[in-house]
Amino acid sequence: MTRISMAAEATTTKFQNPDFRPDFHPDISVTAHDGLHFWQFMIAGSIAGSVEHMAMFPVDTIKTHMQALGSCPVKSVSVSQALRSILQSEGPSALYRGIAAMGLGAGPAHAVYFSVYEVCKKYFSGDNPNNSIVHAVSGVCATVSSDAVFTPMDMVKQRLQLGNNTYKGVWDCVKRVLREEGFGAFYASYRTTVLMNAPFTAVHFATYEATKRGLMEISPESANDERLVVHATAGAAAGALAAAVTTPLDVVKTQLQCQGVCGCDRFKSGSIGDVIRTIVKKDGYRGLMRGWIPRMLFHAPAAAICWSTYEASKAFFQEVNGNSNSGTVT
């Protein structure tokens, strides 16, 4: 067998073994990590991100409305009142306004997100794959890269979510923003997004890996049979904690992306401090926590869905690689 096929077969054999503890990795080929190649991580991440955001999109719409200040339709910080206001004023379809923009951005962004994370984790981990600091640093590298891809479509998505017939659709929003505000408007919140997502991702990945490892150590003999439950539970815990910690910066991001739309405030500069002062002046410090409940309600199940889908996709590719390489000889 070739070196690559031997490594892939060894990894697949361990993966199929019910006694295998996935946190302890043997040496593997430089061309494969966890038995997968770079493009397979990208596909797995793209599928996971798309499923996650599409499934939880209505909750994200409620959060966006709650965080937008000014004369926008929803001013209350109550989740039930926000939902009722949206349904009464625009109907159930309003909960899915902007989902096309999400679809265009989520797939490519998560492909970058997970592939960069896996590459960095392999590069930085060395002989200690369970190092939480490595997981956090790898997550930060992943979010800086993926946010550069996702931020423009996230801005379009949030403007469409606010409704009020401001834009006819995704491309109308893109064309009008380019014409009226310039290309820079698509990245007005990029700095805030990175400053928010860097700690979010650091907390998320470190919590996810630690929780997953802890759950597997509680019952190692059944870890393989309960793999889906482990990933979902660890993902939910990580998503909820990270979401709560970073809500204030998410409010700032929403303000920057929706400025001037539907009566929302327009800021002279993209300064985070300027936005925070405006929010505190209008709504007090509690304004910085607007939407924290739907944000947690979004990220806990979303992370569970995302990680479960991602790990299931990885398992599929590991099986495919094992089958395609089992007969490879030198």
Task: Kindly indicate the confidence band of residue 14, based on its pLDDT and cuts at 50, 70 and 90.
Answer: very low
Q: Which of 27-31, 76-80, 106-110, 282-286 has the highest mean pLDDT?
A: 106-110
Q: What is the pLDDT of residues 148-203, one digit of tens each?
A: 999 999 999 988 988 767 788 899 999 999 999 899 989 988 988 888 888 888 88
Task: Kindly indicate the confidence band of residue 226, based on its pLDDT and cuts at 50, 70 and 90.
Answer: low
Q: What is the pLDDT of residues 56-114, one digit of tens each?
A: 899 888 888 887 755 454 444 577 888 888 888 888 888 998 899 988 999 999 999 88
Task: Kindly indicate the confidence band of residue 265, based on its pLDDT and cuts at 50, 70 and 90.
Answer: low
Q: What percent of the chain has pLDDT over 70?
A: 80
What local confidence, expressed as pLDDT, does residue 52 receive?
A: 86
What local confidence, expressed as pLDDT, does residue 224 receive?
A: 62
- Mean pLDDT across the stretch 265-287? 80
What local confidence, expressed as pLDDT, does residue 11 receive?
A: 42
- Cα–Cα distance, 296 to 92 (Å, whole number): 22
- Mean pLDDT across the stretch 300-306? 86
228 has pLDDT over 90: no
- Mean pLDDT across the stretch 262-272? 70
The verdict on pTM exceeding 0.75 is no
